[in-house]
Each structure stands twice: as structure tokens, then as C-alpha cells.
Amino acid sequence: MGQNKTSDKVILEIDNLAVSYGHVNALKDVSLTVNEGEIVVLIGANGAGKTSIMETVLGVNQVDSGTIKFQGKDITNKPADKIVRSGMFLVPEGRGVFSSMSVTDNLLLGAHHNLKGSKEKMDYVFSSFPILGERKDQVAGTLSGGERQMLAIARALMSSPKMILVDEPSIGLAPKIVNDIFEILVQLNSEGYSILLSEQNVYKALKCAHRGYVMETGKILLSGTSEELLNNSEIRKAYLGA
Amino acid sequence: MSLPLYYYLAIASIYILMTWALYLPYRVAHLHFMVVANMAISGYFGGYAATQWGWPFGAALLAGMLIGALLSWLVSFGIGDAPTFAVVIVGFTFIYITKTAIENWDLIGGTMGMFGIPMVKNLLLYAYLFVLVTGIFIYRFDHSRLGRAASAKFVDKDLATSFGVNTKHLGMFLQTWAGAIGGACGVFYAFFMNSLFPDFFTFHIIGTTMTMLFLGGYTTMWGPLLAAPILWGLPLILPTSIASWRQIIYGVILIVILLLRPEGAVTRQFIRKIQVKLKLVKLA
Amino acid sequence: MEIFIAQVINGLSLGSIYVLLVTGFNLLLLVAMIIHFSFPVVVVFSMYMAWIVLGLTGNNIFLGVAAGISSAILFNIITAPMFQHIMKKRGEVDINSTMVLSMGLGMIITDFLSHSINSGFPIAFPDNLTGRAAGPFIQFGLISMSRGAFLALTVGIVFVTGLFWLLYKTKQGRAFRAIAEDPNGAKLVGLPILKTGLQSYALTGFLGGSTAILMAILLGSASPGLGDQLGHKVLAVSIIAGLGNLKGGLIVGLSLGILEALVQGYWTGTWSNAIAFVIMLIAILVKPKGIFGMKL
């Protein structure tokens, strides 16, 4: 599987997290960890709470109880811009690129908090994603779905993050492009980025991740290494159709 | 009846009707300030018809309503389904043009105003009968399929379409109805005051009626009915030195209510509670 | 022909005032997500503050200008929390409420001006500010340009250019445009929404305060009702151009200035002002969503 060596050092630690929207409980008693250099995948159907975890970690949702620690520091209920500044970046579901703005502008938005060295970062991003370099003056609205996903990932890299959250990257993309995206994620991981990924494409996600958590209705049902999960009979039945 | 009380009740009836005229199109999130222009145009028409052609009050009222409805109906072809701000600006522009026209038209008195509109016996009674009838119609509308569709459109346009209601026609209907009420208000006002001045039909009526609508609550017809007499009466019982700050007082009330209780004093839940207390409906 | 050229030049000066007002209004709409109907009322309020300070300091132009600009910035920043309280969600209903809130603020300012300052009579700005006594600044035959008109036009061009530079070439401007396109997405990439919103209040305050000074120079006087009238024109221009469309606002704002100047050049009397309104009314009734399309 060509995975990166991981360390035992925890980069993200979520402890007994609970979040509600009004009267609806979105997350109940969620605990998970991501070690430095790991790809960890969240598996679950629509509405299982994957996006809620991502957005809560990023500081968009109000936490009812529980704690979130990033690089050893408590970031529970800190505003999103502070958390992004501290080295975490989200690649949102549905890409979240600004379609009326140019590719360059979208990339620079990723570097909003630290424009120093953005020229070099941009060169690095364009060397990794040559297609974006070709289209750097086009508005993002003219890009294809796969190109937008690359732009969203490249934008995350512009912020020089320690950790990247990637929410449902494969949604709405052709299988061939999905493979490309997963390859990119593995490549990034080997360069040292820790990644928390959420996916419905369970087989492919587990193939590239180190560990995984299975979610249902806001709770974590199961966790384990990718191999354990791939061999788990319930998961095979529920998600892999075998 | 004492004269101050008579005038209080007279103008209170006008403000109730005017606030309802704002309330109806606001059911589909339209702030239809054009009703103030309707009030001026129909008021002047009614006054002119009574003084120059000797029309009786009833004929003037009917004509005023028809003119108000007709104008609003014609305009609603443009803004029946327009965004709120477009409706607002059309209203303002109509008021401005109407006022300029009145001020420059010597036939109807220009800036001097129009005088000698005849007194009508039992006018106050007619006014409140009109309030009652209008209220019944609004109540019927609010509890109809159209009324529910309007509430849906206020929140979400697509949802309203799923009720099978043509939202443009609904907006046009409400604007036209509001125009008719505005026209009636103008004729009542002309016969109450027996004179008309262009200065009355300006932005301060908008501020006043808007405050009445938002303080009372724009989700039920009862809010305006309650807030209009109170807000109109408030400056009358205050000492003159304070009462002359009326518009500022209204402005502060408007801002405070928007910040603290955005749906206004009388909300749907509030009405429901009262109905439950009075055992009009069973607890759901 | 000379009258025509002269009026077009006058119209451009007046139009650049409209453009500045519309641009401030549109920026608040795009970045702070409010319909600040009374933004021009705040501008007129700043004219009054400048007038008061001019009177108190024996027509010290520097202090007067400073008072005008700072009062608009202060007013915008002080009222910002009220708007932000209402504008938590970005829905049509909430944006309507911000317009009503703005109208409430406008009611208070206008009534305050007509009650408490100069007994409600129009105020006149001193000659050393307006430069009226000095005669025309530029003159070719019938075509002449007052200092005020010249200033309004040049400052208008400089400010609008500066603003577009800021929007398209700076980090802050990029954040403004991102929030204007998708506030939620902007939050997810870690843009500080409230702080950026507050910056837009301060920026438009600066823009409004500067416009107040230009108006004092160009018009030479102000009255309490001026703000309502301008508020009304600015919203109309913005709608005709397409709400939130900055470039459209530029074109329609200048056109309205030229239109008004031409009407006044060829047709005197109280009706001339109404003509512009009739044309605006027709434009809105025919195209309630604007000529150049909404950018919301």
C-alpha cells in the first residue's frame, strides 16, 4: 500500500465530543485520535456525522461537551480562523472553491494568514499540479470537477498545514479521477502531512489509510487498522457488498 | 364625544388600515410602501370629486379604492414577484413622484393644500365598520390555502411553489388588495380632516406604519391592530417637549424590537397560547 | 453643443458622488451582507458634523474634514454590532430585516438633524471650503468647472480606482470577494468573517466620510431631507445596475449624474428632479433584477 511510516506522537485528539444543532444531536460521545504522519479515514453513510466532526474540529460548530486537542493544545470552541492559523486546513465537501475568482486567487486565499513565501509555495503547487499552473488565470468556475478538487487540495497546501482534513473527496467524480485524487493524498502523506479523510468509498479509502473509524448516526461504532476493518465481516457486508 | 378623542380614534383607524395594507404584501416579504402613494392619490381624488363635482362620500370611497387597486395592480405586473428591495424602491419612487405632482398642480391646491372637503355624519362609525370588514377578509385570507402559501413563500420561495400556488399572482393579488386599502385610507383621511396637504404623504408615514407593523408583529393580523392605536396614542399622552421627538422614539422602538424580538410583540405562538387559554382550540 | 458638453461635465461630477455612494452601499451588501438603505443618510450626518466643527473652530478646514470623515467611520463601526446581530444567517428574510434596521437608524438621524441642528434649516458650508468665491477653476467659453466639481470628479476617479485595486490586488480585497461569493465557504478556509466584515464597515465609513466632504464642496449646502433623497437614489441605482454589481453601479451612477445634469440644463423647474425618478421607476418595473445582473 506504500504507506508512510507513522509515529506514536498524537497530532489530533478528540475526547468525548458532543455537538448538537438546536435539538438535534449531531455527534454523541465521539473519541478519536490521529497520529503524526497518519491517514485516518472516517467511514459512514450520509448523515452519519463525518462532516460534523470535520467542521467541529475546524471550529465552525459549537461544542456542547468534550475536548479537541491539536498538537497538544486545547482548541475546543476556538474560532475557525485561529485554528486554520495554527496549522490545520479543510478541503470541504463539494470542493468549496470560489467559482467567480481566479485559480491564483483561490490558492492565495489558502495562504491568507501567511503570505510570506507564497510565491515559492505557488511554484511548488504548480509543479505538483501542472494543470492548475496552465489555468492559473482562469476563474475556478470554468474548471472540471476533478480540477476543482485538485484546486481545493492545492489551496490547503498553500497554508503550509501540519494536518489536512479532507471531506468526501470522491463525491461526484469519475472513478479514474477518484484514483488520481487518492494517489495525491497518499503522496502528500508521504511528504509528511497528517490526513483525516472522510469517505463513502470505503474500499479505496481503507486501501490508502492507516486506520479507520466507522460512524453511524453521530456515534463511532468501530475502529481499527485498515486491515482489521477490511477483514471485518460486518463491514464487508454493510459497505463492501461481500 | 370630545374633539381630541374623536381625532384620536379617527387617525387610529387610518393607521390600523395602513399598517394592515403593509402587512398583507409583507406576507410574501414585500414592503409595499406604494400604499402611501395610493393613499395620497385616492385622497386627493376623493377630495376633488366631493368639492368640485359634489360626489357623496360613498361614491368617493368606492372610487378611491378602485383607483388604489388599479394603480397597484398595474405596477404589480412589474414587481409582483420582484425581490423586496425592488418593491421598496418602487414604493419610494411613487411617493416622490406623487408628491412632486401634487405640489406642482395648482388645480388641486399645490403646496397650499386642498380645503373645504365636506363633513360626513357618522364617519367614525363607517371607518370602524370598514376596519371590521377588512379585518374579517384578512382573517379569512390568513386561514385559507393562499394564506398558508404566503407564509411558506415568506420563508422559502420554492416551498411555496410546491403548494401549487403561482407566487407572482399571489404577490400581485396582495399588492392590489393593499392598494385598495391604501386608497380607502386616503378618502377616509380627506373626509376626517376636511383638508389635505402634500406634506402629510411623506416618509414619516412610512416610518410610523413600519414601526407599527414590526412592533406589533408581522406574522399575524392582530399585531398591527394592537400596535397602531398604541403607537399613535403614545406621543399624545407624552408631554409636548418629548412628543415632538416622535420619529426618533419610533425609530428607537423599531430598532429595539428588531434586535430583541424580531417577530414582534404578537407572534403566532402567542396567539396560540391565548386560544388555548380561552379553550378555543385544543392543545395539539 | 457647448451647453451639452458643460452639462455632461457637471453630470460626471455629480455622477462620481453617486458612484462613491453606490460603491459604499454595494460593499456593505457584499461583504457585511446588509442592505444599508440609510448609508447616504449617514453621509449627510457626517456633512453636518463637519459643518458643526467648522463653525466651532472658525472654519478650520483640516479639523472640519477630519470630523466629517471620522464621524462616518465611527457611526458605521458603532452600528456594526446591531447589523451583525441580525445578519447571523444569510437568508432573504434576514437581509430584509437589515434594511428595516437601517431605515430605523435613518429615521433617527434625519429627525435629529431636523430638530437639533440649525433649527432644521439647511446649512451652508463656508467659502474657504467650497471655493465658491474664487470663481470657476477651469474655463473654456461656456464650459466651466468649479473647484468642487473638479475635486469631486478627480477624487471620485482616484477612490474608485483605489477601491478596485484594493478589491482585486490585495489580500483584504481577496477576502472581501470570497465572503461576497460564499460566506460559508470563506469560513471553512479560515477567513476571519467578523473581522473582515468590520473592516468593510470601517472602509465604507471612510468612503462615506470622504464623500460627505466632497458633497459639502460640490453642493455647498445640506438639509435634513437630503439623506433620504440620496438613500432612495442610491438604492435605485444599485437595483437598476444589479444589486451588488460594482461595475454596473459605476456605469449607472455616472449615467444618472449625467441624466440629471442634462435635464437641469435644458428644463428648469421643480419637475426636473422628478424626471430622473420616472426613468428610474420605469427601469425597475421593466427589469427588477437589474441590467447587469445581481452579484449576491
HEC-encoded secondary structure of B55-110: CCHHHHHHHHHHHHHHHHHHHHHHHCCCCHHHHHHHHHHHHHHHHHHHHCCHHHCH
pLDDT for the residue C102: 95
pLDDT at B265: 86
Provide the 8-state DSSP code for B53: S
Are C46 and C40 within 8 A, CB to CB? no
- In terms of pTM, does the model score above 0.90? no
What distance in Å separates the CA atoms of residue C183 and residue B124, rounded to the nearest whole number? 53
B103 and C CB contact within 8 Å: yes
Residues of chain A positioned with their CB less than 8 A from the CB of C188: 55, 58, 60, 80, 90, 92, 96
Q: How many domains does chain B have?
A: 2
CA distance A225 to A223: 7
C249 near C241, Cβ under 8 Å?
A: yes
User: What are the two backbone dihedrals, phi and then psi, of residue A203, each rounded to the nearest 5 degrees?
Assistant: -60, -50
CB of A151 closer than 8 Å to CB of A103:
yes
User: Do both A79 and A99 map to the same domain?
Assistant: no
Question: pLDDT tens across B161-212, in order?
Answer: 677 778 889 999 999 999 999 999 999 999 999 999 988 887 788 999 999 9
- CA C127, CA C117: separation in Å to the nearest integer? 20
Note whether A78 contacts C: Cβ–Cβ < 8 A.
Answer: no
**Strands A39-43 and A211-216, sheet pairing:** parallel
Report B:183-222 residues touching C (Cβ under 8 A). Answer: 203, 206-207, 210-211, 214
Among B172, B201, B230, residue at a domain's last position = B201
Closest Cβ opposite residue B29 in set C92, C103, C278:
C92
Query: Any idea which of A38-47, C8-17, C136-145 has the lowest mean pLDDT?
Result: C136-145
User: Is A144 among the domain residues?
Assistant: yes
Higher pLDDT, C153 or B129: B129
Residue A211 CA to residue A166 CA, distance in Å, equals 15
Q: Which of B22, B88, B241, B250 to mutate to test the interface with C (most CBs of C within 10 A)?
A: B88
Please state, in angstroms and rounded to a whole number, the distance separating the CA atoms of residues A11 and C36.
45
Q: Which domain holds residue A124?
A: 94-160
Residue of A nearest to C193 (CA): A81
Tell me, what's the pLDDT at B282?
61
The residue segments making up the domain with residue B206 are: 202-284
Claim to verify: residue A148 and residue A47 sit in the same structural domain: no
Chain A residues with CB-CB distance to C195 below 8 A: 81
Q: CB–CB of A211/A3 below 8 Å?
A: no
Contacts of A108 in chain C (CB under 8 A): 171, 174
Beta-carbon contacts of residue A22 (< 8 Å; ≥ 6 apart): none
A4 — pLDDT class (breaks 50, 70, 90): low
Q: Which one is predicted more confidently, A95 or B10?
A: B10
Q: Mean pLDDT across chain C, nearest whole number?
A: 87
Inter-chain CB proximity B83 and C104 less than 8 Å:
no
Tell me which residue in C171, C178, C191 faces A81 most closely, judged by beta carbons: C191
Q: How far is A77 from chain C (nearest CA, A)?
A: 14
Say yes or no to pLDDT of C1 above 80. Answer: no
CA end-to-end distance (rounded Å), chain C: 41
Q: Let me know: does A52 contact A58? Beta carbons within 8 Å.
A: no
Answer whether A70 touches C (CB < 8 Å). no
Side-chain-side CA neighbours of residue B174 (13 Å)? 32
- CATH number for the domain harbouring residue A222: 3.40.50.300
User: Cβ neighbours of residue B224 under 8 Å, at least 6 residues apart?
Assistant: B16, B19, B20, B22, B23, B212, B213, B216
Query: What SS3 class is residue A117?
Result: coil
| Average pLDDT, integer, range A109-124 | 87
The residues, any chain, with a CB within 8 Å of residue B129's CB and separated by 6 or more, are none
For chain C, the residue count is 296
Q: Do A167 and A71 fall into the same domain?
A: yes
Nearest in space to C97 (alpha carbons), one of C203, C105, B226, C287:
C105
Task: Please give the pLDDT value at position B196.
Answer: 93
- Do the beta carbons of residue B205 and residue B18 sit within 8 Å? yes
Instruction: Tell me the mean pLDDT in the region A68-80.
Output: 92
Instruction: Calculate how close chain A gets to C27, using CA atoms only, in Å.
Output: 16
- Do A126 and A107 sit in the same domain of this protein? yes
- Between CA B175 and CA B31 the distance in angstroms is 10
> In angstroms, what separates the C-alpha of C275 from chain B's closest C-alpha?
9
CA distance C157 to chain A (A): 25
Q: Are strands A163-167 and A88-91 parallel, antiparallel or unpaired?
A: parallel
CA C89 to chain A, closest CA, distance in angstroms equals: 14
Residues A79 and A105 in one domain: no
Chains C and B touch (3+ CB pairs under 8 A): yes
Contacts of A115 in chain C (CB under 8 A): 171
Nearest to A106 by CA among A145, A149, A146, A166: A149
Interface touch A112/C191, C-beta < 8 Å:
yes
| Same domain flag for A56 and A167 | yes
Residues making up chain B, counted from first to last: 284
Q: What average pLDDT does this structure show over A61-69? A: 91
In DSSP notation, A167-220 reads E-TTTT--HHHHHHHHHHHHHHHHTT-EEEEEES-HHHHHHH-SEEEEEETTEE
CB-based contact B92 C232, cutoff 8 Å? yes
Regarding whether A134 and A234 lie in a shared domain, the answer is: no
Q: Give the model's confidence band at B160: pLDDT under 50 very low, under 70 low, under 90 confident, else very high.
A: low
* C217-276 pLDDT tens trace: 988 899 998 998 899 899 889 989 988 888 899 999 999 999 988 888 887 766 777 788
Residue C84 has pLDDT above 90, yes or no: no
Neighbouring chains of C at 3+ CB pairs within 8 Å? A, B
- Using alpha carbons only, give the angle B53, B56, B62 rounded to the nearest 5 degrees: 100
Q: Calculate mean pLDDT across residues B93-102.
A: 89
Q: What is the pLDDT of residues A186-238, one digit of tens each?
A: 999 999 999 999 998 888 889 889 999 999 888 998 899 999 988 888 888 87
Name every chain C residue with its beta carbon within 8 A of the beta carbon of B251. Answer: 104-108, 111
From C94's Cα to the closest Cα of chain B, the distance in A is 10
Closest residue on chain C to A159 (Cα): C189
| pLDDT tens-digit readout, A148-171 | 999 999 999 999 899 999 999 988
Question: Above 70 in pLDDT, residue B281?
Answer: no
Clarify whether residues B240 and B270 are in a common domain: yes
Contact A96 C189 (CB under 8 A): yes
Touch test B–A: 3 Cβ pairs or more under 8 Å:
no
Domains defined along chain C, listed by start: 2-286 (1.10.3470)
Cell triple for residue C7? 452639462
Same domain, A130 and A64: no
Q: Residue B183's closest CA among B56, B38, B75?
A: B38
Instruction: Mark whether A120 and A155 lie in a shared domain.
Output: yes
- Considering the domain boundaries, does residue A180 fall inside one? no
Residue among C55, C80, C59, C46 nearest C216 (CA): C46
Nearest residue on chain B to C113, alpha-carbon basis: B248
Whether B132 has its CB under 8 Å from any CB of chain C: the answer is: no
Q: Which of B201, B230, B251 is the last residue of a domain?
A: B201
Q: Do B97 and C278 touch (CB under 8 A)?
A: yes
Closest of C40, C1, C12, C30 to residue C224, by C-alpha: C40
**Higher-pLDDT residue of C289, B32:** B32
Query: In this complex, do B258 and C243 lie within 8 Å of one another by their Cβ atoms?
Result: no
**Domain for residue A181, yes or no?**
no
- Who among A96, A109, A155 is closest to C174 (CB)? A109
pLDDT at B139 over 60: yes
CB contact under 8 A, C185 and A58: no
End-to-end CA distance of chain B: 46
3-state SS, residue C21: helix
Burial of A217 (0-12, 13-18, 19+ CB in 10 A): middle
Distances (CA, A) of A165 to A92, A147, A161, C217: 8, 18, 10, 55
Residue B214 with chain C: CB contacts under 8 Å: 100
Q: Which residues contact B144 (CB under 8 A, 6 or more apart)?
A: none
> Tell me, what's the pLDDT at B284?
47
Same domain, A132 and A72: no
| A159: contact with C, CB 8 A cutoff | yes
Question: What value of ipTM does the predicted structure carry?
Answer: 0.88
Residue A179 lies inside a defined structural domain of this protein: no
What is the C-alpha separation between A153 and A80, in angstroms, rounded? 18
Tell me whether residues A112 and C195 touch, CB distance under 8 A.
no
Asked if B29 is an interface residue toward chain C (Cβ–Cβ < 8 A), one would say yes
- C-beta atoms of A80 and C187 within 8 A: yes
Nearest to A95 by CA among A153, A177, A139: A153
Q: Is residue A81 part of a domain?
A: yes
Residue C92 has pLDDT above 60, yes or no: no
Query: Whole-angstrom Cα distance, residue A107 to residue A143?
Result: 14
Contact state of C281 with B93 under an 8 Å Cβ cutoff: yes
User: What was the pLDDT predicted at B8?
Assistant: 93
Q: Distance (Å, rounded) from C-alpha B47 to C-alpha A68?
A: 73
Query: What is the pLDDT, as a whole number, of residue B238?
Result: 86
Cell numbers describing residue B196: 389635505
**Distance from C-alpha of C70 to C-alpha of C228, rounded to nearest angstrom:** 21
A24 and A76 fall within a common domain: yes
The domain total for chain A is 2
Is the pLDDT at A2 greater than 50? The verdict is no
Could you tell me if residue A99 is inside a domain? Answer: yes
Q: Which of B121, B122, B124 is nearest to B13 (CA)?
A: B124
What is the reported pLDDT for C90? 53
Same domain, B208 and B89: no
A87: confidence class by pLDDT, cuts 50, 70, 90: very high
Domain boundary among B201, B233, B251: B201
Q: How confident is the model over A16-64, as pLDDT tens digits?
A: 999 988 777 889 999 999 999 999 999 988 888 899 999 999 998 889 9
Query: Chain C residue closest to A105 (CA)?
Result: C174
